Amino acid sequence: MPTNPAKDILLGVAVGDAIGVPVEFLDRSKMQANPLTGLKGYGTYNLPPGTWSDDTSLTLCLAEALTEQTLDPELVGKYFTRWLYRSYWTANGEVFDVGITTREAIQRISRGTPATLAGGLDERENGNGSLMRILPLVLYIKNLPIEERFTITRDISSITHGHIRAVIGCFYYLEFARRLLFGEDKFAIYTDLQQVIPPFLATLGILPSEIDTYKRILKEDITQASTESMLGHGYVVYATEVAIWSLLTTTSYKDAILQAINLGNDTDTNAAITGGLAALLYGHDTIPLDWLNALARKSDIENLAWLLHKRYA
């Protein structure tokens, strides 16, 4: 197990997010013509290097809630509301990026909807907004039975994204992360999850058509997928595929992040999702030093990671 997985998770997500922010929304053709190779600033939002977005903000909100004695979805929802309306856990005191589904869910919470019922349930509300901030939850569920892991993952995803497709993406991602926590080989994890996850989901009565939306990672060898076939848009299925493909086809944190980013489009989120896994695999100390040193509120993130580590070590 990593010596400080909480620090790996929070720094891995935040740095990936920050590296991707300046080129968010650029399409693949522009990224291929001028691939990102390292730290950059300004760009899409005209913000300094190291500035992270909603991906990290909501990850840190969840992480803070997890430092309490028990996990309370209502507290998570409260922190999300504080972020959206009072700029809590922002990089620079400003909320400059928020997904439509996430915003609408938080608005529901602010009007009194219970947190676990706030997330969108429509098939069109299957963006990557819960996947991008779910990773700290692995520390809470790592030693629980698989049925409990799924239920808790569903509840925390459903604060913003309640459709079963988004829940499956979060569940797969956390199952992969959990195996990384226990020091397993990334290829062995990938192969084993193909044997474990589909039959487990079937026992829950989840429609085969929903499980099959993840067939590229649950039935195929995604390491053989071409770059052209990997889509960097904000759909939860694509985001899960990008993270796993980027992790399996590279050999370092830096390369995994850049590979995800250079697909274009939702660059910050894809890099955040990939970065959390990559830092768990390789360690936060393998993140390029100039990337870490530029990170906004680095000491605050490290302090939160220490509290989280003490809670779950």
Q: 280 with 12: CB under 8 angstroms?
A: yes
Non-local CB neighbours of 215 within 8 Å, separated by 6+ positions = none
Q: Which residues, listed in sequence order, are joined to residue 161 by a DSSP beta bridge?
A: 120
* Nearest alpha-carbon partner for 101 in 158, 156, 21: 158
Three-state SS sequence of 144-184:
CCHHHHHHHHHHHHCCCECCHHHHHHHHHHHHHHHHHHCCC
CA distance 62 to 72: 10
Q: Which residues are annotated as a binding site?
A: 53-55, 266, 268-269
Residue 281 DSSP SS3: helix
Residue 32 tokens read as 């291929």
Estimate to the nearest angstrom the gap between the alpha carbon of 165 and the chain centroid: 15
Binding residues for Mg(2+): 53-55, 266, 268-269
Are 132 and 272 contacting, i.e. CB atoms less than 8 angstroms apart? yes
**CB-CB contact of 205 with 26 (8 Å):** no
Distance CA 18, CA 55 (A): 10
